[in-house]
């Protein structure tokens, strides 16, 4: 008896990329396959592997997503309409991970590129053609035309248009402030553009920008800014207000862990790596965050319902990020300002150093010895007012200086 080979599946990272490119959440994939959301999370992280009927259903779903992704555009070419700014059909909080072979089209309703038709060759032409050059030649003898590589501007714009809208919504869940969320994402992408040679070759460019935006948004120095001392208007819905208040009461590190795991959909090791903590510590933070939210809102004790409510809360606010051109221009203007400030400070230091060298003495001058106290000499008395007796004595002495008293002569006996 022989056992049929198992249905092949893509790699775990490829499974997650296909799901996010199709705009599906883990809960939606779990409903279609007939498993729980935690099971789909384990499949995408590589901890477990599906078997039997579940494997066949999961492989069929991934094949459909692969075909839809391939029909949307060629991974080796750049769509002509990329960069128009039209939102992509995807979940409210999902971000494209690192290493995705191709991003979905940013204009679902726009025209699609088609390959140019292959000219037909008649039989005589085929006969006259040299061997290995006709349409019936082997595939390896016909090199595929190489697509033009993306310029840094095009690559940055594609990353920004695909990640910025979802990243603004995520940052809003962390801070509860709309302006701060937009500013954090803008600053993160400005820093990414300044370090684009480093970010472009990073294993996870979207994760790099996300971590930078989270760090800026959760900085404790924002509370000292005048514009952030007053709270912003809360959401209109009462349930959304209660959920946002419960999230904002969490410690910043617990809040970030909850958004990454239950909001974005990262697995536990990736969440631990992004929050710079161990996996057991991240699991404890996640459990405490869920317990704190469930204590205020018991209906969100299930992780699936919590994920759904987080996506609904983030999608209920109209949060728009500025265009990629404005971000790049602001980044370059900011870099020029810092460069000019650095040049000015350097010039000031050089001028001060030159002035010091010009006015400093060119030889050694010994310092003067400090004065010492001489002992044994009475202090000099200052003249003062004479008393009556002293005045009489002075008058007497002055009157008898010239004549003096009579000479005393001894008397004889």
Within a domain: residue 355?
no
Same domain flag for 32 and 167: no
- What does the pLDDT read at residue 257? 93
- Looking at 316, 335, 363, the residue that finishes a domain is 316
CA atoms within 13 A on the CB side of 364: 1
Within a domain: residue 108?
no
- Looking at 282, 316, 350, the residue that finishes a domain is 316
Same domain flag for 298 and 200: yes
Within a domain: residue 389?
no
Same domain flag for 59 and 184: no
Q: Show the CA angle centred on residue 219, arms to residues 218 and 222, nearest 5°.
A: 105
**Domain coverage including residue 192:** 152-316
Q: Count the domains in the chain.
A: 2
Same domain flag for 291 and 183: yes
- Looking at 288, 316, 344, the residue that finishes a domain is 316
pTM of the predicted protein model: 0.54
Within a domain: residue 339?
no
Within a domain: residue 201?
yes
Same domain flag for 161 and 303: yes
Q: What is the pLDDT along the chain (413 residues), one digit of tens a residue?
A: 344 456 788 888 888 888 887 878 888 888 888 888 888 888 888 778 888 888 888 888 888 888 877 776 444 433 333 333 333 333 445 543 333 333 333 333 333 333 333 333 333 343 343 334 344 444 444 555 566 788 889 999 999 988 888 899 899 989 988 889 999 999 999 999 999 999 988 888 988 999 999 999 999 888 888 877 787 888 888 888 899 999 999 999 999 999 999 888 888 888 888 888 899 999 999 999 999 999 999 998 888 888 888 888 888 877 777 888 888 888 899 899 999 999 999 999 999 999 999 998 888 888 888 888 878 777 777 677 888 888 888 888 777 755 555 555 566 65
Same domain flag for 68 and 210: no
- What does the pLDDT read at residue 303? 86
């Amino acid at each position: 008896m022989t056992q049929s080979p198992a249905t092949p599946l893509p790699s775990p990272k490829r499974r997650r990329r296909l799901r996010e490119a199709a705009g599906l959440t883990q809960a939606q994939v779990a409903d279609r396959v007939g498993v729980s959301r935690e099971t789909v999370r384990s499949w995408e992280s590589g901890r477990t592997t599906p078997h039997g009927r579940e494997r066949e259903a999961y492989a069929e779903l991934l094949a459909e997503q692969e075909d839809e992704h391939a029909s949307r555009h060629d991974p080796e070419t750049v769509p002509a309409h990329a960069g128009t700014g039209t939102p992509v059909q995807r979940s409210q909080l999902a971000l494209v991970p690192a290493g995705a072979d191709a991003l979905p089209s940013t204009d679902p309703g726009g025209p699609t590129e088609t390959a140019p038709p292959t000219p037909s060759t008649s039989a005589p032409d085929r006969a006259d053609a040299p061997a290995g050059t006709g349409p019936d030649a082997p595939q390896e003898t016909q090199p595929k035309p190489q697509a033009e590589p993306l310029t840094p501007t095009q690559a940055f714009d594609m990353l920004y248009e695909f990640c910025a809208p979802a990243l603004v919504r995520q940052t809003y869940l962390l801070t509860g402030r709309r302006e701060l969320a937009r500013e954090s994402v803008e600053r993160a992408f400005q820093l990414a553009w300044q370090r684009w040679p480093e970010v472009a070759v990073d294993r996870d460019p979207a994760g790099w920008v996300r971590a930078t935006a989270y760090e800026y948004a959760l900085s404790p120095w924002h509370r000292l800014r005048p514009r952030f001392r007053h709270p912003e208007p809360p959401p209109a819905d009462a349930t959304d207000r209660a959920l946002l208040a419960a999230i904002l009461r969490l410690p910043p590190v617990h809040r970030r862990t909850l958004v990454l795991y239950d909001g974005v959909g990262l697995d536990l090791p990736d969440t631990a790596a992004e929050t710079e903590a161990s996996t057991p510590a991240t699991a404890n933070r996640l459990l405490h965050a869920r317990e704190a939210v469930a204590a205020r809102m018991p209906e969100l004790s299930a992780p699936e319902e919590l994920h759904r409510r987080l996506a609904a809360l983030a999608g209920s606010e109209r949060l728009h990020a500025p265009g990629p051109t404005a971000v790049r221009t602001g980044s370059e203007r900011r870099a020029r300002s810092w460069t000019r400030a650095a040049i000015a400070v350097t010039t000031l230091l050089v001028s001060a150093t030159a002035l010091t060298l010009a006015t400093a003495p060119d030889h050694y001058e010994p310092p003067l010895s400090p004065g010492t106290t001489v002992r044994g000499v009475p202090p000099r008395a200052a003249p003062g007012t004479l008393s009556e007796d002293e005045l009489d004595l002075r008058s007497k002495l002055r009157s008898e200086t010239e004549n003096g008293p009579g000479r005393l002569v001894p008397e004889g006996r």
